[in-house]
Amino acid sequence: MSIPKVYSILAAVTSVAALAQSTWVAPLAPRKPALPSAAGNPVDAFLSGVPGKPVSDPLYARRVYLDVWGLLPAPEQLRQFVRDGDPDKRARLVDQLLADKTAYAAHWISLWSDLLRNDEGVIYHGERKSITSWLRKALEENMPYDRFVATLLNPALKGDPEGFIIGVNWRGEIPASERPPLQAAQNSAQTFLGVNLKCNVCHDSFISKWKLKDAYGLASFFTAEPLEIARCDVRTGEMATPKFLFPELGAPRTEGTLDERRAEAARLFTAPQNGRLTRTVVNRYWKQLFGRGLVEPVDDMSAEPWNADLLDWLASDLAGHGFDLKHLLRTMLTSRTYQLPTVNGAPNPRERYVFRGPHKRRLSAEQFAEAVASITGEWRYKPIPAAGLTSYVRDWELKSTPLTRALGRPVRDQVSTERLTQPTTLQALELVNGVQLAGWLHQGARRLVDNPPPPPANLFDSGVIRGNSAKVDIPLDGVRKLWLLVVDVDSYDPTRVFPMWKDAAVVVDGNRVPLSELFPGVNLEGLKLASRTVLDFDGKRPERFQAAVQVAAGSKGSDVGPAIRFFVFDQEPDPLRLVRVDPRTPVPQPPAKLTPDALVSRVYIHAVSREPSVQERKAALEILGTPLASDSVEDFLWMILMSPEFQYIR
């Protein structure tokens, strides 16, 4: 059983005792209670008795930038906001951030990719399909949430997101509970209704009211084929028929074609009488911003909320404003409640929860990576299969790394409704001695000190070579040396991939001379991966370099899965920048060649939204020394990034 599934089951188990002691019955129909006070913001009307003064302008700006864009405010942005004397500037800042549809979508797409089991930068096998393009556009256009859900459940038009309900077609033998229709039932119930069916796809639940037949009834909306019920992988001989989890909404109108069944599922999920849909998304967004849901666990919306009136009011208000998720965010972000100082989380589970303020939250994996990138100017670029110009991108567009996985980015082969953010040994190792963070800081320190010229551009880039080949024919006017590189992109078994520069030759004085004649000791047809060959022409005047690049015949099997790339350079290449990259970055680059004192101020303001104290400035300047050297800047950056003040949203 996978870790996400185990975690979901354990989260449900933790609420059993509370459920057993409570007489709470979760309503289905929408309910909009009256506001209990005349406070301007409805959230504050329900929570007017919570003591505390709003946090300072810098702290609020840092919090809201991270929550809406996923990015730290740049020092210039922070100063402009702090100097603004308008008493409504916090509401205007929220409106400004929400209006930038690109930055907004680039942050919130991570949450929705977790919830919708969609990943970027991975190779999808079988029928699994990416929904990234649709999801990004839906967020940028602020698609109404009811239509968003209906389209995911009933992708009827060209360009609609089929990938969510298709699920993962696992290789080999799989249990009955992992069949695509059962995946669709689990994923849709969990994500949109806060109903955990992880147990119920095998047997009746021991910890909730949901039965095996409930899971199969919902699964029947996502297949037109007869679906035999299997209990713990043992066939029962009983066939399932479409049945929604909440019969109060009425019996399904059809048991027809697959298209008709999906359309009926979409109708029932988004029916006006189904208040569970809006309550669930409100609860998820509240937890995202405040660190703890109005209902916990978030996948058990049958549990009693700590403030049912607030939950119901926000859910009804969302529906009343056209299912506008940005409206929901604005309501929360402009409340005095959101602006209160943070408190430590992990309350005693045996005591009834009392809201005392937002919980401290760790930066997400993507927020951490992008914060480091914006402070240092070192951004990762998007791998592209073909040769050509690529671009620096935000972290959601890239395959996860050991660092981001250690910081909580899930493997999205299943729905992930909560990330594991507790500190772990692996996380500590990645932060202290991981290759990715060390490389970022090393390159970033160099950039801040010297602003070095851009790395050499390649003369040739093969793009990704699998079983195919590519021709090399490049001019060498005035070239004295060539660097020939072969790097692994994502081979299944790199140890069995053998690249070849086939029939390599150099044109000299109009004559094509085999490379083996010019360099007798060089064999370019018997290489291993990660090879690097330097050709020094030593006074010769080469005119062209010609070859064919490919993998050896024995490397083409599906159990090897070659995926490699060939490069040619006429200068010493930078191993971190082999492809040609558009120099524009997601946010403007920080200035380089600052004085030590100016660098200390800028890094502190950018990282933690404040100037350093006298003692902090003194310690930082002692670390940096004079003149600035990249290794001392690297130490200073690492010191700031390891601080809890940086790593938490406070």
pLDDT tens track for 165-195: 987 777 667 788 888 899 999 999 999 999 9
Name 148's bridge partners.
none
The answer to whether residue 113 sits within a structural domain is no
- Give the end of a domain, one of 288, 312, 333: 333
Q: What is the CA radius of gyration of the chain?
A: 28
Check: CB of residue 286 under 8 Å from CB of residue 332: yes
Q: What is the pLDDT of residue 430?
A: 94
The answer to whether residue 642 sits within a structural domain is yes
The 10s digit of each residue's pLDDT in 72-124 is 999 999 999 999 999 999 999 999 999 999 999 999 999 999 999 998 766 55
Percentage with pLDDT > 70 across the chain:
94
Are 199 and 256 in a shared domain? yes
pLDDT band at 464 (very low <50, low <70, confident <90, very high): very high
- Return the C-alpha torsion angle 416, 418, 424, 427, nearest 10: 60
The answer to whether residue 59 sits within a structural domain is no
Are 269 and 224 in a shared domain? yes
Give the CA distances from residue 624 to residues 87, 437, 469, 634, in Å, rounded to whole numbers and listed in that order.
40, 19, 50, 9
> Total structural domains in the chain?
4
Are 211 and 149 in a shared domain? yes
Are 190 and 126 in a shared domain? yes
Are 306 and 175 in a shared domain? no
Are 130 and 261 in a shared domain? yes
The answer to whether residue 448 sits within a structural domain is yes
- Give the end of a domain, one of 573, 603, 621: 573
The answer to whether residue 90 sits within a structural domain is no
> Residue 179 in 3-state DSSP?
coil
- Give the end of a domain, one of 541, 573, 605: 573
Q: State phi, psi for 425 to the nearest 5 degrees.
A: -60, -45
Q: What is the pLDDT of residue 242?
A: 93
Are 522 and 440 in a shared domain? no
The answer to whether residue 629 sits within a structural domain is yes
Are 249 and 278 in a shared domain? no
The 10s digit of each residue's pLDDT in 279-302 is 999 999 999 999 999 999 999 999
Show the domain range for 19: 3-54+274-333
Contacts of residue 561, defined as CB under 8 A and 6 or more positions apart, other chains included, come to 466, 491, 492, 493
Are 258 and 134 in a shared domain? yes
The answer to whether residue 443 sits within a structural domain is yes
Contacts of residue 137, defined as CB under 8 A and 6 or more positions apart, other chains included, come to none
Give the pTM.
0.91
The answer to whether residue 82 sits within a structural domain is no
Are 262 and 193 in a shared domain? yes
**Cα–Cα nearest to 604, from 581, 621, 579:** 621
Are 424 and 286 in a shared domain? no
Q: Which two tokens stand for residue 41?
A: 């913001």
CATH of the domain at 472: 2.60.120
> Residue 43 in 3-state DSSP?
helix
Q: What is the pLDDT of residue 4?
A: 47
Tell me the one-letter amino acid at 446: R
The 10s digit of each residue's pLDDT in 130-154 is 899 999 999 999 999 999 999 999 9
Are 494 and 601 in a shared domain? no
